[in-house]
Structures are given as C-alpha cells and as structure tokens.
Amino acid sequence: MKKFTVSVFVAFIMISQPFNLFAWGKKGHGIAAEIAFSLLDTNTKLKIRNYLKGTSIEDASTWMDEMRSNHSYDYMKPWHYVNVEKGNEYIPDSGANVVNEIKIAIQNLSHKEKLNDSEIKTNLLVIFHLVEDMQMPLHVGYGSDKGGNDIKVTYLGKPGNLHKVWDTDIIESEGITTGQCLELLKDISKAERKKWSDINIDQWIEEPRSQLKYVYDFNHETNILDQAYADRNKPVVERQLLVAGIRLAAVLRLVAQ
C-alpha cells in the first residue's frame, strides 16, 4: 500500500505548485455520492457501507476537503487536480495528481486482504472524493490560472473567482438537486453511459476537459457572469455531477468485488 508520509521533497513540490483544492462544494459532492449509490445494487451498497465503518456516503465524499485544516494531510493537496495547459493533451506520468491517486487507491483496494480496516476505509474515502473532483472541469484545467482560482469574477452581483462559481455558486443559485441530475439519464444513450462507466482513468480526463469551453465563455474584459451565464451552464454542471455519480458507481462496484 502507498505510504501516507510527507517528505521534504513532497513538501517542496506542494509549495511550488498551484493548489486547485476544491471541486464541488459540500452540496455538489453529496449529490454525486447520492447519484452513485442510487445506481448500485443492494449487495454492493452493503459492502461499501461496511467498509466505511459508520461514515455516511455524503461525509465520505467530502472527507478530503474537511481534512485540509489538518496539516498531517497536507501531502494530499496535489491529489485533487491535474493541470494540462490549453491546447495540450494529458500525458500520463507518475506525479501526484487526481488521475494517478485514483488509480493507486483502486489498485490498493484490489488487494483488500493485505489491508486493515482503516486502510480500506481511507482508500475508499480517497476514491469517493477524487472520482467526483475529477469530473469538475476546472480540476483538470489550466495551471496558468490555477484552475480558475486566479480569475476574479462577479457572479450574479457577488465578487468571487471562477473556480468557486463552478464548485459551489451555480449549484446553489440554480438549486440543483440529485433528482434533476438523474432526470438527465433519460436523454443519455446506452453507448454514452457505457463510455462514462468504463474504468479508464487516463481517458476520463477528456470528458470534463471538453466542458472547459463553456466555463470560459464570458466577457473577459468585464468578468461579469450574469443570469444568462448561469442558465447556460446549469445543464453543464448537472451533466458533470451525473458523470461523477456514474463513474463513482462503476469504481465502487469494482472495489466491492
């Protein structure tokens, strides 16, 4: 199992890299977790709840964000995202990023007999959070603007940054719910749903990155995001939360075997 330790080298890397820490606020993560569980059979649900040892699926999905105030978990900060500049394609490497850490956690859980209960739970908590994080476009975005954190905007009259708009503000202002996201399944073809469910983490980055064109579709002279921007992008956020739920369900089925 990958050791959860902090080295001087890792600490240096963390300081030198931008932190795109938060994808989907608490509500968004909870919605994605609920979608995932709604797609699981009863036996898989029971196994996952047993591995979580009393932690709810909603709390499992936000655990990594809640640990941000505990500096013993600082080594996890680069795990939440991967930076690929505009016009470039993701090239797999061995760095600490959202793609690789999902793969590591899945690999760890493929050998559950070698793990104790705490290690199984920790790897599962990582999977809950990072699979969801990865489907937020700005968590597979551009390091040049720190996944939108450096872009100051005014959203519906309130100042903030582009990253926050996508992780929290659109979900809250537009009242997005689990039910609304699940309604989209009616219009998703079997082929597309299967594509989303196939567990190929390196390729998963392509779908959320394809949504970045909508994220950055605003007047960059004023950086004012109005109701029209919210209306255009509510379906994008709903879609990405649905993708997150479908992909999380696929991984949970796999690790519960």
Residue 151 lies in a domain: yes
For residue 64, what are its two tokens?
A: 């990594």
Residue 217 lies in a domain: yes
Domain range enclosing 214: 20-255
What pTM was estimated for this model as a whole? 0.90
CA distance 81 to 140: 6
- pLDDT tens digit sequence for 39-84: 999 999 999 999 999 999 999 999 999 998 899 999 999 999 999 9
Rounded to the nearest angstrom, the gap between the alpha carbon of residue 185 and the centroid of all alpha carbons in its chain is 20
- pLDDT tens digit sequence for 194-248: 999 999 999 999 999 999 999 999 999 999 999 999 999 999 999 999 999 999 9
Residue 55 lies in a domain: yes
Residue 10 lies in a domain: no
Residue 72 lies in a domain: yes
Residue 216 lies in a domain: yes
Residue 196 lies in a domain: yes
What percent of the chain is modeled with pLDDT above 70?
91
β-bridge pairing 224-225 and 152-155: parallel
Cα–Cα distances (Å) from 76 to 37, 122, 210, in that order, read 25, 12, 26
Residue 149 lies in a domain: yes
Contact indicator for 10, 75 with CB cutoff of 8 Å: yes
Helix axes 117-134, 26-38, angle to 10 degrees: 110
- Our count of domains for the chain comes to 1
User: Domain with 200 in it: what CATH number?
Assistant: 1.10.575.10
